[in-house]
Amino acid sequence: DQGRDILSALMYGARISLAVGIASVVLSVLIGVTLGLVAGFFGGWVDTFLMRVCDVMLSFPAILVALLIAGVGRALFPHSPDTLAFGVLILSITLTGWVQYARTVRGSTLVERNKEYVQAARVTGVAPLSIMRRHVLPNVLGPVLVLATIQVATAIITEATLSFLGVGVPPT
């Protein structure tokens, strides 16, 4: 009625939330997939240690950990510019989100490492890192992509909650 474009106003208002959500999910995927591949492929004490760290991280609610990290970051840098607040917010959401990727990738890697094509690559003398990168990683990315799309929405909700509580990035 007043000649305003609702789509452009919606896109303008969502840019901060989408940037924080996508950046935190990308970092969570990088950390979680790397640690999950290493834990699942090598096993042993590496797997045990990384999965106990995941268990500890999962024992705390993600919003409380994000609130703690963002609050400490805000307290350490009280008069910081918004770019630092973006970094603290992305870091806090990343540190609570990587665990799901690590556990998902570890489970898929445990299945994939015992398949015939991985055993054939191992017998022919291919290095373990090359096997993980060329053979195992492409086959475990399916569940990761599904989890990442869901995690973007969760990260946006966490960012909005932290902003509402006055800890996150102030709304523009």
pLDDT in tens, 115-134: 999 899 999 999 988 988 99
Cα atoms in the 13 Å half-sphere on the side-chain side of 96 = 24
Given a cut of 80, whether residue 148 has pLDDT beyond it is yes
Conformation bin of residue 156: beta by default, left when phi > 0, alpha when psi is -120 to 50: alpha
CB–CB of 143/161 below 8 Å? no
Cα-based angle 91, 97, 99 (whole degrees, multiple of 5): 125
Residue (of 41, 63, 52, 55) closest to 130 by Cα position: 41
Give the chain's mean pLDDT: 85
Q: Is the pTM of this model over 0.85?
A: no
Given a cut of 90, whether residue 101 has pLDDT beyond it is yes
What pLDDT was estimated at residue 43?
84
What pLDDT was estimated at residue 86?
78
What pLDDT was estimated at residue 169?
58
